[in-house]
Chain A
Amino acid sequence: DIQMTQSPSVLSASVGDRVTLSCKASQNINKNLDWYQQKLGEAPKLLIYFTNNLQTGIPSRFSGSGSGTDYTLTISSLQPEDVATYFCFQYNSGPWTFGGGTKLELK
């Protein structure tokens, strides 16, 4: 199975900060990676698909990048409503796997 490692596990940042979340795969996943946001008590929501494509309705402050084994989700200017846990997900080869998540908090 492909292991997905997210870092950090918890991130504290201030409103307006540029925030970078990392996801590392145990092998090349050919950009077959999505990012999901999960707010407390809610189902996950798709933010970014295939590494760098913004899902419809998602604010443009969210962006994704990466290739090979290393991927990044960036929030250009953190907003209070961005407090959530963020998961990466690979679908390059089965079984498809999620990262452990990064919990984003306000400082």
Chain B
Amino acid sequence: EVQLVESGGGLVQPGASLKLSCVASGFTFSDYWMSWVRQTPGKTMEWIGDIKYDGSYTNYAPSLKNRFTISRDNAKSTLYLQMSNVRSEDTATYYCTRWERGFDYWGQGVMVTVSS
């Protein structure tokens, strides 16, 4: 059974950094592009970016590129999202997703709240 389990969220102050993790199981992690998607409290969905199966290439939404970094450790079947200089508008639920003809599997999501 494919599973994606995110962790690392919580309450963080504006300007701080945070690293989210997503542990994958039930499939060969190193065969798939992976993405992060977030959903605001108002339910707006935003694609953050993705990473090639071998980690050699990443794509980002231009508005987030300078502050967010996606990486992966295929030996640990883990996807990461490094968030820096966070702002109140980064408050959202963050989902880890697998890409194959669409985002065919999603994690349960992890909440990040940016507030002082």
Contact = CB atoms under 8 A, between A and B. Distances in A.
Interface in B76-104: 95, 101-104
Given A43-B108, A43-B109, A45-B106, A97 B47 contact: yes
Contacts of B46: 98
Give chain A's interface secondary structure class.
strand
B102 A55 contact: yes
Contact of A44 (B61, B62, B106): B106
Contacts of A96: 47, 61
Given A95-B62, A100-B44, A43 B107 contact: yes
Interface of B: 43-47, 59-63, 95, 101-104, 106-109
A50 B101 contact: yes
Contacts of B62: 95
Interface string A36-48: 1000000111101
Contacts of B109: 43
B45 A43 contact: no
Contacts of A77: none
Nearest to B65: A95
Nearest to A43: B106
Contacts of B95: 43-44
Given A46-B102, A46-B103, A89-B103, 12 more contacts: A34-B102, A34-B103, A43-B95, A43-B109, A45-B106, A87-B45, A89-B45, A95-B47, A95-B59, A95-B62, A96-B61, A98-B46
